[in-house]
């Protein structure tokens, strides 16, 4: 969910992709190795239902994506006649599935448990890892809609929420409010209640046993870590939710069903003041929300001049960051990114994905969406537009995998319009942010010679370590 954030300056350049053990047994996600590379990419199949994902799995794999992220699969707020449209006063809203009513599998937006299992089997067939968006931090706005079974499992309604969980947050920089009160008014669950933890972990383990191999934790920064204040009025003695969720600790005889390091897990820890990023980093990867903001600034200007795109604006090592040009929140909430054209998003994606670190996520915009009609066909469950298999997107996804072990060297033209992402001496991506063709000469690590782009067959030349050519308006090339 979208929250206000402030840009955090960081001096992180390059990092490793393998977890590093420390003397405490925790994973070090703060120290980085300049020689390691990330190769995976995520397609956010936002609001696609299970049958639609299944039908398109081959195309997703052919497009070079290695992971998909589904929308929440839990039971959710389902008004009569609703959950049909992405955004409509009577026929539903996309954020209904961010209002859990129970931790069971299946809802009337994405489909049934049986349909999900078919989808997971199809993903396995194509070597695609499935990540599920989960949101243990809160329930539906209307707490009367939460299932009786859910309330009974956690010890009753009075045990479900933090002491002030039905109050909204006024100051997102106050860690007590941030972790004990409601995000956007959503009732804040007492995630430290062992009965809740057991019930939630039963759900997680069911998904894992079905074939899910990763999780995106919504509003993760609103679930406390050990340094955060305790809700002592609710009898909380330790902020241990993350210890349980990541398999370090069992609860009432239940623990994570498979080794945690076999899962891809990241948390939506939107950057702001007073966020304990170091502690969250000991549990999972985090969202690079500030970097996305800076990248969109360059795309809006159609130039990286006076915009530092080399820093990652995060204290954690960049190989543990999930990166994006835009997310479903930046697109849907305040429409922060919705005004960028598909071509602008595409050039940003190629730049981001050609780089050495981070795990980039491609948000699938609605079918037939335009800059005047952001929700296009406005149908929940339907496939997104064709951009996820645009030839430039496919080319850079496959380039990313082929460049494993190749360090980056990014060069930007003086006017900021053309960027070359060099990857060792094996390859390079050329990106033109501008609305006009650009002839350029930039330093490269490619050997001297003639090169032909993988997508358009455009010719480029390297002479004395200088890459020369002409990049068409808002176009990218893979060499």
Please answer whether residues 349 and 63 qualify as being in contact, where contact means their C-beta atoms are separated by less than 8 angstroms: no
Annotated catalytic residue 188:
no
pLDDT the model gives residue 273: 87
Among 314, 278, 245, 303, which residue's Cα sits nearest to residue 434? 303
Per residue of the chain (479 residues), what is the pLDDT tens digit? 433 333 333 323 323 334 454 434 467 899 988 999 999 999 999 999 999 999 999 999 999 999 999 999 999 999 988 889 999 988 988 999 999 999 999 999 999 999 999 999 999 999 999 999 999 999 999 999 999 999 999 999 999 999 999 999 999 999 999 999 999 999 999 999 999 999 999 999 999 999 999 999 999 999 999 999 999 999 999 999 999 999 999 999 999 999 999 999 999 998 888 899 999 999 999 999 999 999 999 999 999 999 999 999 999 999 999 999 999 999 998 899 999 999 999 999 999 999 999 999 999 999 999 999 999 999 999 999 999 999 999 999 999 999 999 999 999 999 999 999 999 999 999 999 999 999 999 999 999 999 999 999 999 999 999 999 999 999 999 99
The torsion angles phi and psi of 412, rounded to 5 degrees, stand at -125, 135
Q: Which of 133, 218, 326, 417 is catalytic?
A: 218
Among 165, 283, 149, which residue's Cα sits nearest to residue 221? 283
pLDDT the model gives residue 84: 94
Annotated catalytic residue 268:
yes
Angle of CA points 174, 179, 183, to nearest 5°: 90
Through-space distance between the first and last CA atoms of the chain, rounded to whole angstroms: 37
DSSP annotation of 365 reads P
Distance of CA 10 to the CA centre of its chain: 20
* Cα-based distances in Å from 22 to 27, 29, 249, 264: 6, 10, 18, 20
Distance of CA 393 to the CA centre of its chain: 17
All structural domains of the chain, each given as residue ranges with its CATH number in brackets, are: 20-405 (3.20.20.80), 412-478 (2.60.40.1180)
Q: Which of 268, 329, 408, 453 is catalytic?
A: 268
pLDDT the model gives residue 478: 98
């Amino acid at each position: 969910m979208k929250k206000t954030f402030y840009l955090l300056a960081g001096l992180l350049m390059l990092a490793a992709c393998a977890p590093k053990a420390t003397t405490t047994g925790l994973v070090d996600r703060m120290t980085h190795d300049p020689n390691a590379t990330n190769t995976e990419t995520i397609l956010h199949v936002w609001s696609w239902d299970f049958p639609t994902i299944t039908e398109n799995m081959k195309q997703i794999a052919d497009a070079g994506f290695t992971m998909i992220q589904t929308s929440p699969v839990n039971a959710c707020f389902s008004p009569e006649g609703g959950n049909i449209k992405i955004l409509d006063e009577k026929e539903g809203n996309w954020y209904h599935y961010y209002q859990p009513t129970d931790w069971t599998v299946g809802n009337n937006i994405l489909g049934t448990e049986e349909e999900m299992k078919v989808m997971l089997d199809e993903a396995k067939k194509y070597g695609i890892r499935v990540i599920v968006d989960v949101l243990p931090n809160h329930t539906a706005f209307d707490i009367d809609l939460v299932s009786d079974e859910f309330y009974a499992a956690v010890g009753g309604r009075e045990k479900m929420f933090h002491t002030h969980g039905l109050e909204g947050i006024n100051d997102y920089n106050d860690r007590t409010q941030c972790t004990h009160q409601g995000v956007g008014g959503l009732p804040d669950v007492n995630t430290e209640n062992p009965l809740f933890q057991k019930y939630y972990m039963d759900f997680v383990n069911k998904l894992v046993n079905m074939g899910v191999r990763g999780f995106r934790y919504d509003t993760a920064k609103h679930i406390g870590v050990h340094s955060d204040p305790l809700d002592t009025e609710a009898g909380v003695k330790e902020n241990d939710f993350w210890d349980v969720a990541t398999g370090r600790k069992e609860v009432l005889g239940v623990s994570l069903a498979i080794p945690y390091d076999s899962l891809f897990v990241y948390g939506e820890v939107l950057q702001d003041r007073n966020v304990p990023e170091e502690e969250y980093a000991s549990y999972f990867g985090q969202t690079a929300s500030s970097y996305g903001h800076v990248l969109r600034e360059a795309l809006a200007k159609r130039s990286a001049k006076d915009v530092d795109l080399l820093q990652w604006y995060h204290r954690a090592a960049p190989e543990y960051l999930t990166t994006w040009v835009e997310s479903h929140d930046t697109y849907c909430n305040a429409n922060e990114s919705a005004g960028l054209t598909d071509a602008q998003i595409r050039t940003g994606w190629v730049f981001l994905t050609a780089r050495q670190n981070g795990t980039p996520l491609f948000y699938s915009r609605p079918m037939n969406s335009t800059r005047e009609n952001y929700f296009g066909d406005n149908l929940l469950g339907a496939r997104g537009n064709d951009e996820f298999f645009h030839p430039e997107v496919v080319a850079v996804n496959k380039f990313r995998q082929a460049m494993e072990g190749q360090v980056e060297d990014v060069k930007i033209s003086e006017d900021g319009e053309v960027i070359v992402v060099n990857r060792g001496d094996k390859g390079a991506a050329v990106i033109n942010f501008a609305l006009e063709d650009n002839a350029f000469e930039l330093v490269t690590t490619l050997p001297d010679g003639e090169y032909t782009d993988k997508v358009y067959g455009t010719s480029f030349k390297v002479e004395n370590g200088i890459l020369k050519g002409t990049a068409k308006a808002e176009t990218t090339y893979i060499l």
